[in-house]
Homo-oligomer: A and B are copies of this chain.
Amino acid sequence: MAEPLVLTLSCADRPGITARVTSFLFAGGGNILEAQQFNDRSSKAFFMRVEFDPGNWERDHLCDQFVGLANEFEMGWKLAQCDRPKRVLIMVSKFDHCLADLLYRWRIGELAMEPVAIISNHPRESIEHAHLGGIPFHQLPVTPETRPEQEAEVRKLADRYDAELVILARYMQILSDRQAEHFAGRCINIHHSFLPGFKGAKPYHQAYERGVKMIGASAHYVTADLDEGPIIHQAAEPVTHADSPDQLVRKGRNIESRVLAEAVRLHLEERVLLNGHRTVVFGN
């Protein structure tokens, strides 16, 4: 079997798209391994993800051939190699549980990524518990005054490392509108609450004060509108009156790590498509 490819696309819904796309792949000798589609009846939009063995087709040739069909349906589309690790830039602050979790999953081959660099606003020594190995580390401190320069530096590093995805692994800094736009659709944040509840800072303390009986975490694409970006994945777990804020923080770490890792995996495997300010997630 050749290296499998994954085609993702979206366009206005109309009869025949699936037939045309799958016939195109079949005609070229492709063999579907996994296919999912979503016909959004409210927005009349169509979304598709097809993982396939391209047979004798080269990826570039296939792309050239597909352009006609894509134009006819005015598709947004992408043809990616399934298993090629994406180049990932991870940003972190003092809490390193999400970072440690992502790196462990990367090391055992669970996440098809290549961590090209880690950026923190704190010094390397503050990452006490995660094992960075040889991954380049950059400290870029930030204050309200230096934010524009610091963010320019981040963009420069992202360019230099040719980063395809930026992960805010409890980075704890709000990105400027400009920065959020720059990385639109390729920057995932973990918010340590069950959005849309408890936006902003110290959500576990907010949750404690409110006396909720469940806490959660939300992974979403970053947009200029803080904590309002398209949600990729969420999870929640029960808590009780006996949980102090510290306990909530402890229980929350589990959820955050898990939710972020799952969102990153879904993104890396091209399973997340944008549908306005929402997402279509072709899970598995």
The count of identical subunits is: 4
CB atoms of B216 and A280 under 8 A apart: no
Q: Which residues of B contact A19 (CB under 8 A)?
A: 19, 22-23, 25-26
Q: Which residues of B contact A15 (CB under 8 A)?
A: 26, 29-32
CB atoms of A236 and B216 under 8 A apart: yes
CB atoms of B198 and A196 under 8 A apart: yes
A174 interfacial by beta-carbon distance below 8 Å: no
A111 to chain B, nearest CB (A): 10
Q: Which residues of B contact A284 (CB under 8 A)?
A: 240, 242-243, 247
Mask for A107-123, Cβ within 8 A of B = 1, else 0?
Answer: 11010000000000000
Q: Which residues of B contact A244 (CB under 8 A)?
A: 41-42
A250 interfacial by beta-carbon distance below 8 Å: yes
Mask for A241-284, Cβ within 8 A of B = 1, else 0?
Answer: 11110010010011000100000000000000001011111011
Given A34-B39, A38-B241, output 19 extra A-B contacts at Cβ < 8 Å: A15-B26, A15-B29, A18-B22, A18-B35, A19-B22, A22-B23, A36-B36, A42-B244, A110-B253, A131-B131, A194-B214, A194-B236, A195-B210, A195-B212, A211-B230, A211-B279, A212-B231, A213-B231, A234-B238
User: 5 A-B contacts, Cβ less than 8 Å apart?
Assistant: A19-B19, A40-B241, A42-B244, A197-B197, A243-B284
Question: Shortest 10 CB-CB distances between A and B: which pairs?
Answer: A211-B278, A19-B22, A197-B197, A131-B131, A19-B26, A19-B23, A213-B234, A107-B129, A15-B31, A16-B26
